[in-house]
Every structure is written in structure tokens, then in C-alpha cells.
Structure 1
Amino acid sequence: MAARLIQRCSRLLAASPSLQSSSFSILSECVRAGHPIQAALPRPSPLPRPSPLHTSGRCGYTDGLPALKPSVNGQNEKDFLSMIQSMSGPEELLQISADHCKNGNRAAAIISQIAKVTDANKAEVVNDKRFGELLSAVNRQIQAIWNVRLVSLLRSLYALRVDEKNHSLRSVETEVRWRLRKFSVELLGRLARLVFPYAQTEEQKALVFDLAKNVELRWTEVKDTRTLVNVIYSLSQVSRTLLERMEDKVLEYAELFTPEESRTITVALAAQNCRSLPILRALSFHLVQRNAELCPSVIVDLAYAYAKLNFSQHPLLQKMASDLLPRVPALSSKEMTGCIRSFSTLRFFSLPLCEAIAQACLERSSSLMPAQLSSIILSFAHLNFLPSQQEEFFSMVVQRLSTELDSLSPSMLVDLVWSLCVLQLVTPAFLQKALEPQIYDQFLGKASKKSSNYGLKLTHINASARLECPEYRGPLLPLGPVSAVTPPAGGNSRSSLQSDISNALRDVFPDQDTCSFNVTTAYGHHIDAEFVLDSENNPLALRNFEDPHVLHSNGTNALPDGARRFAVKSWEFSNFCLRTKELTGWFALCRRHLRAAGFLVVEVPFYEWQELKSEWQKSAFLKDQIKKVVAEEMSM
């Protein structure tokens, strides 16, 4: 009991004068401790003001400021913070630093404020003698600096680009690592958001790794959306386990996220290519439920993240398009380009939005960079969209880009000319520029996926020059490079739809010589099957006839009079724009090329085929499609 009494009295004597009372208060404390006091005891005289007692170093490890801020140099902490926040430049802060260099906490606050107001000449500030004195004060009293201020100090030193080998910086990093277990989860999330962008050295990366491990062990303590966003944005790339545990937290708090917080989480997932469907679906659902409009910056970032993760939710995309539509004239060229590129990647087609962007291109054609205009045209080609003001738009494109072709990179040039081929706006000048040897030599014969993709686009451009531009006089791609970029037919990459169609066609054409499957054409397109019917609609053996559409033809005879060559082409779900029956630009170009090459195209869309249940129904459907194509050809 005596020890407890002394402890309580010590705390009372160490309190500030405003909290001290007369000796009666001390007697009352003693009474609460359980010691009887005689009522007749004379009232003692007031005690002198005690000197401050030494407190444990653990008092410094608080996540916030103490309730009673100590007075230093006759100025309380609130007034001191107001004073330094009112200063506009680093010189003023360095001038007053001499009065506060003996206090580590205040020196840390001054450094943090210097980092906020310093935009340029950071090296000059860091090399200033007075700044060095502030660092020395921080280094001497590093253990007494409050946790929140220590975190802000570390971020400020990174922002000021203090040398990574600086002793004071290393000391602050070490102190932060020692205190990680004493930080609250909220402060750990804030530390992660502040430090992660600056982690370059091995020591800094080790700090981020330790931070992720601490949050991973204490993930159940996350109780607010801001901490959750900070953790996912900064630490999910370090620890995949932490991201998996955060999925439950996101589902719990998804309804409370602001659009900006949802944007931050989605962009963080896209940065590490983590396609977490539970998180994406939850965030998208609650974004759709909100009545408030999404701002353009949020829409642009969300569209980019969804495009990178290949995640399409039609209701959200519709909301984004409707919210963005009235603000298209105010968008910057970069935002407009990024938005339409993302929507085209997701195969989402909004006619009003595309028309608005096309109109904006006409109005600001002089301010659009050639690369930006080429990117917008590529997006229109992916969606197979032609503006209503087609002639005016095409004239602007030719006028704006004809003289800029040499400034475009080879890949951008191929994209531009391929897009014009899809939109049927290409001219011989554009074709000639794309089919020059110095352009196609950079892509043909290369093994990379990018080179293969551009090689196919060059083959499509070459096919457009041969089939759709009779006034074009060359050059054309040599036969060798064309055969090199065209992937071989067959293999295990055939879809279930293609396999079902092949099986049904074998019932329709039991003679193997009358139907060829999975044919690779010289135009860069595959067809599921090819057959020839005579004037009486009887199948003919293919090996007897020449095949001008393939790379190496075995037959030599021309087709008899009245005979027709057919190509069966299946259309998968991914070949159409989202929730429409309109083909994307790539496959619309394929259909057009096949027809220009002399084929009657028998189209089999997935949404019609999936309604057929029996083999008899599938065979009957193919026969009906063939008759329908013949009837259309005869009626023309």
C-alpha cells in the first residue's frame, strides 16, 4: 500500500501547475488509497512547485500528440505549429530553427514543413548549415520524437532527397523499424502510403518489407477505409498473402468507399496485374449504386485499370460513359485519348460518346498530337465506328497526318494504316508508307508476341492493298515474309465452337475431299472450313482446283462455270462488341477481305449456335445457312 501511495503522490506532484491543488487534494488522494486521516489535523501550508520528474521513455511512443502539450521556450505546441505553418518559404523556417534546435520534436516539425514548402533548390536547402543543425537535434533526441511526427519526418527526408547514406536519415529509418510493433495499424497504413514511392535502396525496401509483415500479422485490426486503401495501394505488391487477407476487408467496407478510394484500390490491383474478381465486382456494384456522378479523372483511371485487368461490367461502363459524355469538351487530349482507348480495349461501344469524341477531335485538331490522333483512330477501328461526319473527319485526318507520318514510330504507323484499312478510309499514300521494306523488316520474322501481332496487321494491310485498293501500284509484302507471320493451321487452340462446327460439317460433307478444315489464307485470316459447290449445289473435290487465297496451292484447274467457293467462319463472344451483335474491327475486316477474295461467307455466330442442342439441329442449321448465302448472292 505504501508503494502505491508514493506512486500516486509522485504523479500528482509531477502534474502541471494548472492541475495542482492545495494539500487537501493530496490528503484526498491518500484517503482514496485507503489510509485514515484524522479530521482534526491542522491544514498544511501549500506545497512548493515541484521540479518535473523523469518519465519513462515509453511516454514518447504514442501515436498522437499528448493531451497536454508541454510548453517549450514559453510557447505551447499549438502556437508553434501555427507559426511554422504560416511561413511561406524554407528560408523563414531555417531562420527560426536556431531557437528550436535543442528540441528534437520541434526540429522534426520544422523539417517536415520545409519539405512541404520547398519545390525547387532542394539540394541548396539540404546543404544549408542550419538544416544540418536540425538533423543533429533530431539525431540526438530521436527516441523522444512522437510517432506521427517521426513518420512525417521520414517522408520529408525522402522528399527532400537527402543522401541515402546520410547518418541522420539512416538513424530515422532504424528508429522507425524499431517502433513498427508499437505503431497503430492506422499509422502503419499512413507510413506505407508515404514511404512506398521512395523505396529505392536495399534498406528502404527492407523497411517496406517489415512494414508489410507487421500489417500482415495485424490485418484484423484494420477498421477504417483509409487504412485499408493505404495498405492495398502500398503493400499488396510486397505481400500477396496480405492482399488475399485484404479481400475480406474490402468486401466488408466496399459500401463505404468513396469513388476516389475505389479508384485507388482498382489502380493498385492493375499495377500488379492482380485480377481479383471479388474485389472488382464489389467495387463496381457499389459504384453503380451511387447516385452521384463520377468525375472525369476517376472515370479515366477506372477505365484504364479495368482494361488492363480485362474486367468488363456493362452497367458500370454505361454509367461511366453517361457521366463522361457531357464533359467531353472539357477533357484534356490525354484524358480523352486514354478513355476511348480503354473503352475500345474492353469492346464497350457507346455511340454518343464516340460521336462526342469525334466532334472534339474536329474542334481541336490543331492541338492534338499526331500520336494522340492516331490512338483515337485506332480505338474507333477496334470498335468499327465511323463518325457521322465521315468526310469531314477523314479530311481532317489526311490533312493532319499526311505530313506527320515520318514522325510516327513504326508500330504507331502500322496501327494507323491498319485502322484506316478497317474504316475503309485508307489511301495509296498511307499503304505505300506502311509497306516499305524498312517498316516491315522490323516486325516480320521476329519471335516476340508484339512482332507477331504487327506482322498480322501488316498482312491485313497488304490484303487491303490487293483486294480493296485497285489504284495501288506497290510495293507489296513478299511471299516469304507473309508465310512466316501467318501461324500454322490446326493445333490445340481451337475452341469448342470451332470443334462443334467441324463435326457438324463432316455430317454435311461425308466425303473428306469435298471440305477442307481450318484453312490459313494469305490474307492473315483463318477460316473454319472451305468447300466448293457447283451450279447444282453439289460439292466438288477441292484438290482439283487452284486456291489463289492460300500460300501454296496444289490444284491447277479453274472453277467451272457457276461454281462457288464457300468459307465457313465462326464468330465467338469475344469477336463482338460488348452486349451487341456488331463485330469488332478486326473481324469485320476479316469478313470483308474474304468476300473481296471471292468467298461466299457462311457465318455461324455463337449466340445462334448455342441454342442448338442435337447434332441433327446443328447439321440442319449449317445447311440453312448455306442456302441463305446462296439466295443472297443470287439476288444481288
Structure 2
Amino acid sequence: MALITLRRNLCHLSDFWTHGVLAALKLQPVNRVHKIVKERLCPWFCSGQSKSFRVRFCHSCCKKFHPENGNDRHTVGEPVFTQVHGWDRLEQNVKNNEQMLSRRLSYFTSSEEVLNFLSTMETLSGTLAAGALQRICEVERKDDHQGLPREVLENSIFQALCFQLEQEPSQLSNTSLVTALQALILLHVDPQSNLLLNLVAECQNRLKRGGLEVHSLCILGESLLRLQGPGCVTLKLIIYQLQGEKMETFTPENIVTVYRILQACPEKVDQHQTFLNKINSFSPSIVSNLSPNMISQMLTALVVLDQTQALPLVIKLGKYVVRHIPHFTHEELQRVLDAFIYFGHSDRFFTKALEQHVAAFYLTLDPEVVSKVTEYCSRKQILSQPILNAVAETFVCQSEKFSPSQISELIESFGKLNYLPPNASALFRKLENMLFTHFNHFPPKTLLKLLHSCSLIEHHPVNFMAKIFSPFFLQRLQGREPHLDKLRRAQLTQLFLTSVLECPFYKGPKLLPKYRVRSFLTPCCSLETPVDFQLYKSVKIGLIDLLGARLYFASKVLTPFCYTIDVEIKLDEEGFVLPVTVDEDVHKRVALCIDGPKRFCADSKHLLGKEAIKQRHLQLLGYQVVQIPYHEIEMLKSRLELVEYLQRKLFSQNTDVHW
């Protein structure tokens, strides 16, 4: 560690004199210290007489301090070493003083306070020098692109601090060296300056000698990433040395830093996967010691690195996220939600805590967080009325703060979950006014998704149908692609079907046939949920027993109106069941909707929006819709009970009839 000369602006204070002596002795090499102690204190130890010992300091900015032997008598405030004060006591005093001064640094809230504090000190150890730079960085760095103010750069104390670091980096401890380098990089010091070049060179020398411990390796790795980017050659050596360390030597902060370093090189994840597996297996043991910020950073890294095999770690992190929800910043909470959406993680305790947080602070939440919360509920199909009600109220009160994509995300969640909040009329009135005012600001695909979501919950966008069916809008929607994708054509087709079935008063343009689809049930972008195969098999067995033969019902019937019916049964005018091959004398068609768990909101009996609109449209098309939900089938204990259940569902007017 180096001794750094600072211009002293205040008078000599007794407590700083002591610190100066201790620091001066502490900062010499061990053999040098013993030599000083022997030469300066041996006569006193041998004679047993109390002789004075004083260290004189030079206060010019860029010179080293030199301990000198003097003949002055001891005065008040000067240190006197008696026979009982050995090297161990001196060592402990130095450590205690450094810890105390480091704590004092953390209390300062401006660079001026830090530099004024440094100016009062007789000497400054490398640890305190690095700590001072780190504190200046913390109070001055308000964003990633802001450097130091001019008054700080021109301050003589700051210049002296940097000069000594530049001249003698080899005298710094590993921790002080990498901490100083990190602070200077974050303060955007010129990468080609002698100061940074000397510090980086010293770090590289120690790295090649294998002299850096885990903590210093982590700080150095992240610092070089900022300075030289992920292509930095030295970074490979740092990661290699980290791989050779025992995981027990990593602190929670070190683990998170390693994740951040690897996150910066996602294209090299295959090279580091073995190391990542090792970290992923160890990390659950330190999750309880992570701060909210570190949890969000770890989750983000797991997403970037595509660690889908680390689900035990994600689940463990999820349990502790619940405790920290009130303490997350908006950005941190957003990262947590992004990770849970990515990994498909949901937890009822997390949802409960999220409900309480959103309901309590919904008017102060950032629109990006609000849209991310609704996206989480939508993706996981969680019908959370407290969250959706709060989101609706936030939009009504602060709609001008929401971007088009955020508005679309918000309305899409209501449509998908088939939910209308208590203030639905105010919500859609506000939405309609925004669309009238800013219609052209909405990207075509975003606008179509938004209006389609409105139709799912029976708030039909009649005033905008003429615009979205117009050739001009359809050309914008198609863009430069040769054909419009299937999902957009399916949404347009369902909106057109809505205009015909549910809005007969609409007399505007119709959707051109070339933009329509034949089926809403497609593999990649379906507006229907495929039937649950196991549930279908159970119902099929019951129907055969009830109707007497397989020929009396058809499965997966595609209607002329794009919907696919799970099971269709034909009835004549007297109510008798007809074979599926008969097309004459069909008086009524029964559509059985065999609704498995995926057609409902999570852990509820509430149909999703796309299933609700399907059943609504089938009824308007003349079908007798019979819903067979999975939770009712699961209650049946025998085959006979299943037959009786289907009989009641299909022939409720003839409940005494048995097959």
C-alpha cells in the first residue's frame, strides 16, 4: 500500500497524529517495519528510559511521507510506545483506525465532504484512498454516463490522490488496487490516461502471478468488462482462475458478480456451462443472504444465460422474493417479473404479496411496472382481481403516462382473462378517447391486438372497425411481408365475425375474403385451446354408453364459421339423436365444449376470454352449447355416474330416460 501526501487545510489534531504514525508504520513492508521498530525503539527498550518518538510529515501534494527520528520531548497527543506495546497491538490499532475511518467515509453525502475529510489526515493508507474514491463514485455517479464535475477534478486533494495511485500502484493491497480501478472506471476517467494504464498493468501482473483472491478477481473482471468490453483477453484468464477456486470461498456478492460477468458474454455460455452448473448448484445455499438488488440481478443473469435447467435455484429465489417485494425498486421488480415470465414460475405466495403491494402503491407505480405486472398475470393466466382492479384504476387516473404498447398489454390481460373491473365503463371511455386522439400513434399490430382483446370481453370496437377493415390499414398491417401472418388474419376474422354476430347495427366495410382464415385452431397461433385428450377419452366412453354407438356423435368438427367443436350431436325435430352421417332433417345441433384446465384461468373455474367468445358465438350461430368442465368430471366416481351426468347435461328435460 502507498502513503499518499495530501495538502492539510486544518490544524494538527491529536487524533490524526496518532493515525499518521500508525499508518506510516503499517504501510511499510514487514521487514522494513521491524527494522524501523528495532532502530527507533531498541534504545528505549534496552535502557528502560522513556524517550520521545515523533513522526514529522511533509504536506506538499505529491511527495512521500518519511518518518524521522527526533529529539523532541513527548507532548500531549503524541504517541508513546511503552514496553507492553508490541507489534500485535500496533497492527490491531491500525486495523481499528482504518475501519473507523472507512465507516466515517460512508456517512459523507458529497465529494466535497470526502475531500475535506481527507485534507485533515496526516497520512492515508491505500485502503482509505481506494475507499475515498469509491465513496466519491457513489455520491457523484447518478447515471451510467456521468463523469466527475470539474470542481472535483481540479481539487488539489483529489489530484494528489490520483497522482500517488498512478506513481505507486505496486504498494497497494489487492483489494485497494481493484477497488480504486473500479471506482475510476465508473467515474469515466480517460481509459488511455497513465493512471488507468498503470493500475490495469499492475492488476494484470498480479493476475498472471496468481496472486488475486476471489473477491479481487470478481471486481477486476467486472471492471475490465466496462473498460474493454466482453472481448477482453484478460477476462478469459480471470474466469479460468475463478473456476479453480472452491465455491465455499465465494461470498454472496462474489456469486452475483460472477453471474454478471458471464451474463456479459452470453454467446460463450456453452464454454462456461460446466462452471455455471457448479454455481447454479451452490447458489441455493446463499440465497437467504442476498439483498433485493442481488436477487433481481441473479434472476436477470439466469434469463440472459438461458439457464432453464436451474429451476431449483429459480424456485428458491422465488421463495425469498416474496419477502422482498416491498423493498424492490421499480426496475428490480420489473426484472423479477421478467424472469418469472421467462421461466414460467408462479407461486401463490408471490401472487398474494404482489397483490398487496400493487393494491397499496398502484398510484405511484411506474407504467412499465404496471404493464409488466399485468403481463405476468396474463402469461400465467392468473385471475387476480386486486391486481387487475388496481391496474384499471391506475390507467383511468394516469392514462397519459402509458405508451401504446403498455396500453395494449394492459387491455390484453383483461381480454385474455375474461375480466371486467368495477370501473369498466370509465376504463373503456378513457381508452376510446385516447384512440380517437392518438389512433395513428399506435403501431398496426399493437392496435389490432388491443381492439381484438376488447371484443373478447364484449366491449366491441365498433367505432374503429371501419378503419381496421380498410385497405389502407391492412396494407400498413402487412408491411413489407408478402402475406399477412396467420395470427393477425385470425384476429381480423374473429373481429369480423363479431361485427356480424354481435354488432348487427354495424354497416361499415367488411373484411376482404383474402384476409380471413378457415380455422381458428392452428398449431402456432390458435385462438382456441385444443381439447384435453384424457378428458375427451373419458367423455367419449360415457357418450358411447349413453347413446349406444360411436356413430351418434362426431369429434373435432370444423364449422363453416372457423370454430372447431369438440363433440357435435345432431337432433331431429322430436329430439331424437341422428347419426353423424345424416344431414337431412337436422333440427338442432348440440356442441359439447369439453373444457380442460387450460381453458380456465389458473386455479379457478373462470373461462378464458377466447373460450368465452367461442361459446358465445356458437350460441348466436344456433348451436345448443353444452359445457363439460373438467372439475365436474373429476367429481364422478364411476362409469355409471358419468353416464347419468352426461344424460342430465344433454337431455335435462328427460331426466328419467336411461340408456
- Pair 1:151-2:178 in alignment: yes
**Residue 123 to residue 265, structure 1, CA distance change in 2 (3 Å):** closer
Give 1:378 deviation, angstroms: 1.8
Match for residue 258 of structure 2? 231
Contact 1:505 1:619 in 2 (8 A): yes
Q: 1:410 aligns with which of 444, 459, 466?
A: 444
Separation (CA, whole Å) in 2 of partners of 1:450 and 1:162: 51
- Pair 1:592-2:616 in alignment: yes
**Residue 106 to residue 190, structure 1, CA distance change in 2 (3 Å):** closer
Separation (CA, whole Å) in 2 of partners of 1:253 and 1:455: 50
Match for residue 183 of structure 1? 212
Separation (CA, whole Å) in 2 of partners of 1:314 and 1:530: 38
**Deviation digits for residues 540-564 of structure 1 (CA, Å, limit 9, x no counterpart):** 355664xxxxxxxxxxxxx647x21
Q: Which residue identity is paired with 1:274?
A: Q
After superposing the two structures, state which structure 1 stretch, 509-518 or 323-332, moved more. 509-518
After superposing the two structures, state which structure 1 stretch, 309-318 or 598-607, moved more. 598-607
Q: 2:567 aligns with which of 503, 511, 529?
A: 529
Q: Which residue identity is paired with 2:381?
A: R
- Pair 1:302-2:336 in alignment: yes
Q: 2:354 aligns with which of 301, 309, 320?
A: 320
- Pair 1:329-2:374 in alignment: no
Give 1:585 deviation, angstroms: 1.9
Match for residue 483 of structure 1? 517
Q: Which residue identity is paired with 1:500?
A: K
Alignment of 1:214-363 (within 5 A): 214-222=241-249, 224-235=251-262, 238=269, 239-275=272-308, 276-288=310-322, 290=323, 293-295=326-328, 297=330, 299-363=333-397
Q: How many residues align?
A: 572
Separation (CA, whole Å) in 2 of partners of 1:429 and 1:596: 22
Identity of aligned residues (%): 20
Contact 1:530 1:568 in 2 (8 A): yes
3-state DSSP of counterpart to 1:433: helix
Q: Which residue identity is paired with 1:507?
A: I
Q: Which residue identity is paired with 1:596?
A: L
3-state DSSP of counterpart to 1:396: helix
Give 1:486 deviation, angstroms: 4.8
Match for residue 468 of structure 1? 502
Separation (CA, whole Å) in 2 of partners of 1:486 and 1:222: 57
Give 1:583 deviation, angstroms: 1.5
Match for residue 35 of structure 2? 13
3-state DSSP of counterpart to 1:473: coil
**Residue 375 to residue 111, structure 1, CA distance change in 2 (3 Å):** same
Contact 2:396 2:427 in 1 (8 A): yes
Give 1:326 deviation, angstroms: 1.6
Match for residue 597 of structure 2? 573
Q: Which residue identity is paired with 1:528?
A: D
Give 1:421 deviation, angstroms: 0.3
Give 1:441 deviation, angstroms: 4.8
**Residue 79 to residue 489, structure 1, CA distance change in 2 (3 Å):** closer
Given the two structures, how large is their TM-score scaled by the length of structure 1? 0.72
Contact 2:110 2:136 in 1 (8 A): no
Match for residue 14 of structure 2? none
Separation (CA, whole Å) in 2 of partners of 1:283 and 1:330: 26
Q: Which residue identity is paired with 1:146?
A: S
| Aligned Cα root-mean-square deviation (Å) | 5.1
Q: Which residue identity is paired with 1:564?
A: K
Q: Which residue identity is paired with 2:295?
A: S
After superposing the two structures, state which structure 1 stretch, 322-331 or 496-505, moved more. 496-505
Give 1:325 deviation, angstroms: 1.3
3-state DSSP of counterpart to 1:404: helix
3-state DSSP of counterpart to 2:516: helix
Separation (CA, whole Å) in 2 of partners of 1:115 and 1:357: 38
Contact 2:535 2:596 in 1 (8 A): no
3-state DSSP of counterpart to 2:517: helix
Alignment of 1:66-215 (within 5 A): 117=140, 122=147, 141-161=168-188, 169=196, 172-173=199-200, 175-180=202-207, 181-192=210-221, 196=225, 200=229, 202-203=231-232, 206-215=233-242
- Pair 1:518-2:556 in alignment: yes
Give 1:526 deviation, angstroms: 3.4
Give 1:531 deviation, angstroms: 3.1
Match for residue 625 of structure 2? 601
Separation (CA, whole Å) in 1 of partners of 2:182 and 2:440: 45
Q: Which residue identity is paired with 1:454?
A: R
Separation (CA, whole Å) in 1 of partners of 2:449 and 2:380: 18
Separation (CA, whole Å) in 2 of partners of 1:332 and 1:622: 50
Contact 2:146 2:188 in 1 (8 A): no
Separation (CA, whole Å) in 2 of partners of 1:232 and 1:263: 12
**Deviation digits for residues 138-161 of structure 1 (CA, Å, limit 9, x no counterpart):** 566443343223323443454355
Match for residue 3 of structure 2? none
Contact 1:304 1:339 in 2 (8 A): no
Separation (CA, whole Å) in 1 of partners of 2:161 and 2:485: 56
Separation (CA, whole Å) in 2 of partners of 1:85 and 1:482: 67
**Deviation digits for residues 372-416 of structure 1 (CA, Å, limit 9, x no counterpart):** 333322222222211223323322222232221211011210121
Match for residue 583 of structure 1? 607
Match for residue 16 of structure 2? none
Contact 1:502 1:517 in 2 (8 A): no
**Deviation digits for residues 208-240 of structure 1 (CA, Å, limit 9, x no counterpart):** 444333333324234543333333344365533
Match for residue 26 of structure 2? none
Q: Which residue identity is paired with 1:186?
A: H
Separation (CA, whole Å) in 2 of partners of 1:201 and 1:165: 18
**Deviation digits for residues 507-528 of structure 1 (CA, Å, limit 9, x no counterpart):** 3667676543323456554332
Gaps in structure 1 of 5+ consecutive residues = 1-6, 27-41, 53-65, 71-75, 546-558
Give 1:177 deviation, angstroms: 4.5
**Deviation digits for residues 560-612 of structure 1 (CA, Å, limit 9, x no counterpart):** 47x21222323232322221111222222222222222222232323334455
Q: Which residue identity is paired with 2:229?
A: Q
Contact 1:185 1:215 in 2 (8 A): yes
Separation (CA, whole Å) in 1 of partners of 2:187 and 2:483: 42
After superposing the two structures, state which structure 1 stretch, 420-429 or 234-243, moved more. 234-243
- Pair 1:395-2:429 in alignment: yes
Contact 1:84 1:113 in 2 (8 A): yes
Q: 1:22 aligns with which of 17, 29, 42?
A: 42
Separation (CA, whole Å) in 1 of partners of 2:206 and 2:519: 59
Gaps in structure 2 of 5+ consecutive residues = 1-28, 56-65, 68-90
Separation (CA, whole Å) in 1 of partners of 2:463 and 2:646: 42
Match for residue 78 of structure 2? none
Separation (CA, whole Å) in 2 of partners of 1:222 and 1:450: 56
Separation (CA, whole Å) in 2 of partners of 1:11 and 1:133: 25
Separation (CA, whole Å) in 2 of partners of 1:620 and 1:507: 13
Separation (CA, whole Å) in 2 of partners of 1:370 and 1:320: 24
Separation (CA, whole Å) in 2 of partners of 1:83 and 1:281: 38
Give 1:311 deviation, angstroms: 0.7
**Residue 146 to residue 631, structure 1, CA distance change in 2 (3 Å):** farther
3-state DSSP of counterpart to 2:411: helix
Contact 1:515 1:542 in 2 (8 A): yes
Separation (CA, whole Å) in 1 of partners of 2:102 and 2:426: 64
